[in-house]
Structure 1
């Protein structure tokens, strides 16, 4: 089972670099959909990703349709759009999979414009999800949003592939600052 992260027209190289590092460390597949707001050799992006670029599984797509075709070919049986537009709470969505070959795709829009309406429509309103925020808040940082979502999906799937995979919380000692 693979989690696919899709960034549609990302604008800030530091965010994409951080997400590259996140994907390299979690085993997620990263998809970048053009146009990009930076050059892939951008110094800020490479610095934010440190030396993890070589460990990340990343594909670049010319269009959303090309990305969608690649996701379908990769057996992404669930595709969700992260958006603040009339969406459902992220934490109420069940990301567990019935079949080990089924994959999940999390689709994010750009930092400045969010996810375009036509892509949201293509994914379908039943699959529009949002992260909780205070009512007066506009949006979260893209790299933070991807991190929150990726780890929740991975948690729901039992952290498959984690090298230190835990069997539970039985041996935890409560924190006592005294």
Structure 2
């Protein structure tokens, strides 16, 4: 899977999303301008020791991203979508894009991809859900539809006797 952040603004969100990407073997695509430096301590703090393990790429703009990835299938998470994120079929090589925290994906991009727009249902008076939570919600649905391919599905309890 692939997560795309279009002009992300808050380093903590990007750091947390990077950590989720490492945990799910998902590539992170960052489209400039970024609202922070990738060297900022906030990114590294949120991403913990996972950040050096992150597979990511940075692009100059949306057109650069589309060109370098051969015009991929991009699902666009937006509050303006007509479809719910659980109502579409994700393929293992799809891309899921999220816009900047303060304004979302620009409408000029959305109108060209209306059939690929998805939304997370929420109470009508709510503007949006935090970016890193939104990314995790949609990503895990896409992974679930692909049977969590390549991910560990079981854990193990250690037989510890507590006194």
Do both share a fold (TM > 0.5)? Answer: yes
**1:86 and 1:50 mapped to 2: Cα distance?**
33
CA contact (8 A) 1:159 1:165 kept: no
- In the alignment, what sits opposite 1:141? 130
**1:43 and 1:72 mapped to 2: Cα distance?**
33
Pair 1:89 & 2:84 matched: yes
Q: What is the Cα deviation at residue 161 of structure 1?
A: 0.4
- In the alignment, what sits opposite 2:58? 60
CA contact (8 A) 1:71 1:105 kept: no
Pair 1:156 & 2:154 matched: no
Q: 2:15 aligned to 17, 21, 26, which one?
A: 17
Q: 1:131 aligned to 120, 130, 141, which one?
A: 120
TM-score, scaled to structure 2: 0.89
- In the alignment, what sits opposite 1:37? 35
Q: What is the Cα deviation at residue 54 of structure 1?
A: 1.5
**1:42 and 1:34 mapped to 2: Cα distance?**
16
Q: What is the Cα deviation at residue 21 of structure 1?
A: 0.5
1:8-63 per-position Cα deviation (integer Å, ceiling 9, x unaligned) = 01000000000110101101110000000011111111100001111111000011
**1:130 and 1:162 mapped to 2: Cα distance?**
25
* 1:160-171 superposed matches below 5 A: 160-164=149-153
CA RMSD of aligned residues (A): 1.6
- Superposition misfits of 4+ residues, deviation over 6 angstroms: none
TM-score, scaled to structure 1: 0.82
**1:103 and 1:72 mapped to 2: Cα distance?**
12
